[in-house]
Amino acid sequence: MRRQTNEEQEFNEESEISAAGVSEDPHAKRKAVIPGEIIVSGEDFLPGEGARREGNDIVSARFGLAEQAGRIVKVLAVTGAFIPRRNNVVIGRVTNITFRGWVVDIDSAADGFLPIEESPRFVNKNAMDQYLAIGDVIAAKIWSVGGKGIDLSLRGKGFGKLEGGFIFRVIPNRVPRIIGREGSMISLIKDKTGCGITVGQNGWIWINGPTIEAQVRARKAIEFVADKVFVEGLTEKVEEWFEKN
Amino acid sequence: MAKEHKRPDGRGLTELRPMTAKVGVIPNADGSAMFAFGNTVAIAAVYGPRQLHPQHMQDPASGVLRVNYDLLSFSVYDRKKPGPSRRSQEISKVTEWALSPVIDLAAFPSTVIDVQIYIIQADAGTRTAGINAASMALAHAGIPMRDLICSVAVGKQDKALVVDLTKEEEDFEEGEGATDFAVAKVANSDEFTLLQLDGKIQPEIVKEVTRIGAEACKKIYEVQKKALKEVIEK
Amino acid sequence: MASSNLTIETLKKMFAEGKRFDGRDLLEHRKLSVETEISNTAEGSARVRIGKTEVIVGVKMAMGEPYPDSPDRGNLTVSADLLPLASPRFEHGPPGFHAIELPRLVDRAIRESHVIELEKLVIKEGEKVWTVYIDVYPINDDGNLIDASTIGALLALKTAMVPELDKDGKIDYDKKATKKLPLAKDIIPICFTFYKLGNSLLLDPTREEEEACDVRVTFGLSNPKDYLINSCQKSGKTPFTQEEIDKIMDTLPKKYDEINEKLKKFL
């Protein structure tokens, strides 16, 4: 099962993350809502993620931005901890090594586990830290979220051990804005800074670039985007930011 | 006659103290908020869903809500020794029960959502202020919730019913004395999630007290709502 | 997020070039803002913000017996509670070493400076004295808690009033306090904790920087005239070299003046 799906999937953070169910539709109407608040009334509307129907009303099931696109009304979370889902791209840090694989902190309620068979190259079972040592950082995909934990995979392009640069954290629910519509935002930041950037859906972001200045600039640009929850025309604002910074 | 009762701070009988609320006061937390009734100031932080240790406490069918309420040592005139007391443990638990009914814990099996409530300054109504802060902090943490929880103390001063007692009013001794009835309710329904009282009160009056509490909760809800929306619409 | 190997390496390179993520120089503090009298139940109180780090401190006073070896002096007790509210890295349960060390460092900086005139806090010699409690609570930990806590303790002391007593000699909080806590003029205890990563020294780290560092050393200074050092503690295994100690000593007076200047209007 898992082999098939993984072989088929290329590592493409933009398309994958937009496929995770978060749209950045520029024409959608948005407003701040709190849990239990009526967003719209009427039989014409359908509750999407983060919303539910109560009689004639569509009611918010969480705090966030209500978005009405066509008939679908949903509430996008803007804050909160990372909730792992299958096929999420995550960045994690090795915290332990067992005889079966690596325990990886992915900043969620359960540790990630990377089985030894998932290593893209041969690993000597007696010297597993030669491939991944404690404190090393990987980009991985979640291939299952179960009662016993979260299993990670490195199969696919772009996954594996990360070297150089640094990682930092943003609020995970801001990741879709950082990626942008079809990856437009992150591409803009990469172009302007010349840095390689991998965005984990757990909110951990890896930046590696030609100079310290470029890397710091890329981080600041991402933090600028992450801070703007409720801004229209964010792309223009980021372009302006790059003019000034 | 109840109508003749004068409150020491000049408030109307069903008038709350000035309320202040702010969301996002603790950047490290997944969600956080401050809520104040006059001089009573509570802050709350939410962490999680996160790993629950020890493992045997985990529930594979549901997440666990874990509330910790405490007073800062200098929040009261007689310094409180740091660390949990029986009182704070009981309030932690009733707060947990007050908040749980609106939280969709089934969405996070085997995990814990930690709610930390601390009272910075106490002038009665600390548990209710704490619940109001925690309810906002949980929403701010993006936790799926059916509704917000609002909480207030309704008191009896001799025969008069008043909302949101101060410490001075809690110590009222004339006539039938003071009764302090702390309630919490689901904001947009008539479900009560906290009921706790000390004093003397007749069953018929309790019916009235809960209704007065529900009216006060509407005002609290508006304050909570505004503070939460400000975070997004800043 | 605990530090990762690659972030540590990058920070090491950055610090070696004198650079930080937020653009500060290695020995530059973040924006410091303070508020005093934040609590009407405490005898004195303060809120200190350094960047995103926030600490609140309250001073309470209570009557008690003097210690047998100091019958003619009041008592001082410093506590710091690393509330699980303030950071995902603070957990419930028995205090870790950091939780034990923080109040001890604040205690020594305050106590050894002799800023509190404990000899003036005797109610009846050998029997009844005031105990001054300084209680420190981090609200948000984004690094440099030791220095922030000491500033908070200093300001809470500076605003503290001695409670009035009733005719039976008990504290009467209904009476307005009019007497300031007796403090030595011109003694201003301030801590400076230097962190080290690779060969670089830095002040006022963010939590991210703090977690990457190998070792730290805290100096408590108290005197704007000759910059007297009253307390010092190195925490961590990595050694400091002679050259580094010299550099720290050369830096301290300058930094002391800078922070003292910022606090002046509150003192």
- A contacts of B31 (beta carbons < 8 Å): 79-80
Q: What is the pLDDT along chain C (267 residues), one digit of tens a residue?
A: 578 999 999 999 999 999 999 999 999 999 999 999 999 999 999 999 999 999 999 999 999 999 999 999 999 999 999 999 999 888 766 667 888 999 999 999 999 999 999 999 999 989 999 999 999 999 999 999 999 999 999 999 999 999 999 998 899 999 999 999 999 989 999 999 999 999 999 999 999 999 999 999 999 999 888 999 999 999 999 999 999 999 999 999 999 999 999 999 888
Tell me the angle at which helices A212-227 and A184-193 cross, rounded to the nearest 10 degrees.
Answer: 150
Of residues C5, C14, C17, nearest to A135 (C-beta)? C5
Q: Does the pLDDT at position B100 exceed 50?
A: yes
- A contacts of B47 (beta carbons < 8 Å): 81
Of residues C92, C140, C173, nearest to B26 (C-beta)? C140
Tell me what the mean pLDDT of segment A47-54 comes to.
95
> What span, in angstroms and rounded, lies between the C-alpha atoms of B176 and B181?
15
A69 Cβ partners below 8 Å, 6+ apart? A23, A25, A27, A28, A29
pLDDT band per the 50, 70, 90 thresholds, residue B1: very low
B29–C79: do the CB atoms touch at under 8 Å?
Answer: no
The helix/strand/coil state of C45 is strand
Residue of B nearest to A149 (CA): B110
C10–A215: do the CB atoms touch at under 8 Å?
Answer: yes
C135 forms beta bridges with C58, C79
C7–A204: do the CB atoms touch at under 8 Å?
Answer: no
Test mutation, C1, C4, C11, chain A, max A CBs within 10 A: C4
**What's the length of chain A?**
245
Q: Does the pLDDT at position A16 exceed 80?
A: no
> What span, in angstroms and rounded, lies between the C-alpha atoms of A238 and B188?
40
CATH number for the domain running over C5-266:
3.30.230.70
Same fold, A89-162 and A166-244: no
Tell me what the mean pLDDT of segment A202-226 comes to.
96
Percent with pLDDT over 70 in chain A: 89
Q: Does the pLDDT at position B124 exceed 70?
A: yes
A93–C4: do the CB atoms touch at under 8 Å?
Answer: yes
Among B98, B136, B120, residue whose Cα is nearest residue B38: B120
- The verdict on C19 touching A (C-beta cutoff 8 Å) is yes
Percent with pLDDT over 70 in chain B: 99
Of residues A34, A109, A230, nearest to B139 (C-beta)? A34
- Check if CATH label 3.20.20.70 holds for domain A89-162: no
What is the least distance, in Å, from the CA of C87 to any CA of chain A?
Answer: 14
Beta strand A57-60 with A196-199: parallel, antiparallel or unpaired? unpaired
Residue of C nearest to B38 (CA): C40
The pTM of the full predicted model, rounded to 2 decimals, is 0.94
Predicted local distance difference test score (pLDDT) of residue A19: 34
Of residues B48, B147, B234, nearest to A81 (C-beta)? B48
> What span, in angstroms and rounded, lies between the C-alpha atoms of A59 and A52?
5
Among B99, B114, B129, B147, residue whose Cα is nearest residue B20: B129
- Render pLDDT for B141-151 as a digit per residue (tens, 0 to 9): 999 999 999 99
Write down the domain spans for chain C: 5-266
Q: What's the Cα-to-Cα distance from B212 to each of B166, B175, B218, B219, rounded to whole Å?
A: 17, 21, 10, 12
C197 forms beta bridges with C200
The token pair that represents C150 in the structure block? 């000491």
The DSSP H or E segment spanning B20 is: strand B19-23
Predicted local distance difference test score (pLDDT) of residue B75: 97
Predicted local distance difference test score (pLDDT) of residue C5: 95
- Render pLDDT for C145-177 as a digit per residue (tens, 0 to 9): 999 999 999 999 999 999 999 998 899 999 999
Q: How far is CA B120 from the centre of its chain?
A: 14
Predicted local distance difference test score (pLDDT) of residue A85: 94
- C contacts of B26 (beta carbons < 8 Å): 54, 85-86, 139-140
- C contacts of B25 (beta carbons < 8 Å): 139
The token pair that represents C185 in the structure block? 């003029």
> What span, in angstroms and rounded, lies between the C-alpha atoms of B228 and A64?
9
End-to-end CA distance of chain A: 47
Write down the domain spans for chain A: 21-76, 89-162, 166-244
Q: Which CATH number fits domain A166-244: 3.30.70.600, 3.40.50.2300, 3.30.1370.10, 3.90.15.10?
A: 3.30.1370.10
pLDDT averaged over every residue in chain A: 87
- Render pLDDT for A125-155 as a digit per residue (tens, 0 to 9): 888 989 999 999 999 999 999 877 899 999 8
B140–A37: do the CB atoms touch at under 8 Å?
Answer: no
pLDDT band per the 50, 70, 90 thresholds, residue B217: very high
> What span, in angstroms and rounded, lies between the C-alpha atoms of A23 and A20?
9
- A contacts of B29 (beta carbons < 8 Å): none
> What span, in angstroms and rounded, lies between the C-alpha atoms of B64 and B52?
8
- Check if CATH label 2.40.50.100 holds for domain A21-76: yes
CATH number for the domain running over B2-232:
3.30.230.70
Q: Does the pLDDT at position A97 exceed 70?
A: yes
B234–A230: do the CB atoms touch at under 8 Å?
Answer: yes
Write down the domain spans for chain B: 2-232
The helix/strand/coil state of C207 is helix
Whose structure tokens read 């603070």?
C90
The DSSP H or E segment spanning C111 is: helix C97-113
pLDDT averaged over every residue in chain B: 94
- Render pLDDT for B158-210 as a digit per residue (tens, 0 to 9): 999 999 999 999 999 888 889 999 999 999 999 999 999 999 999 999 999 99
> What span, in angstroms and rounded, lies between the C-alpha atoms of B21 and B129?
10
> What span, in angstroms and rounded, lies between the C-alpha atoms of C101 and C90?
14
- The verdict on A50 touching B (C-beta cutoff 8 Å) is yes
- Render pLDDT for B50-93 as a digit per residue (tens, 0 to 9): 988 888 888 888 999 999 999 999 999 999 998 889 999 999 99
Predicted local distance difference test score (pLDDT) of residue A7: 33
Of residues A107, A167, A216, nearest to C7 (C-beta)? A167
Amino acid at A222: I
The helix/strand/coil state of C120 is helix
Q: Does the pLDDT at position A22 exceed 70?
A: no
A72-76 β-sheet, strand order: A29-33, A64-69, A72-76, A46-47
Q: Which of residues 186-205 of B touch C (CB under 8 A)?
A: none
Test mutation, A79, A103, A111, A229, chain B, max B CBs within 10 A: A79
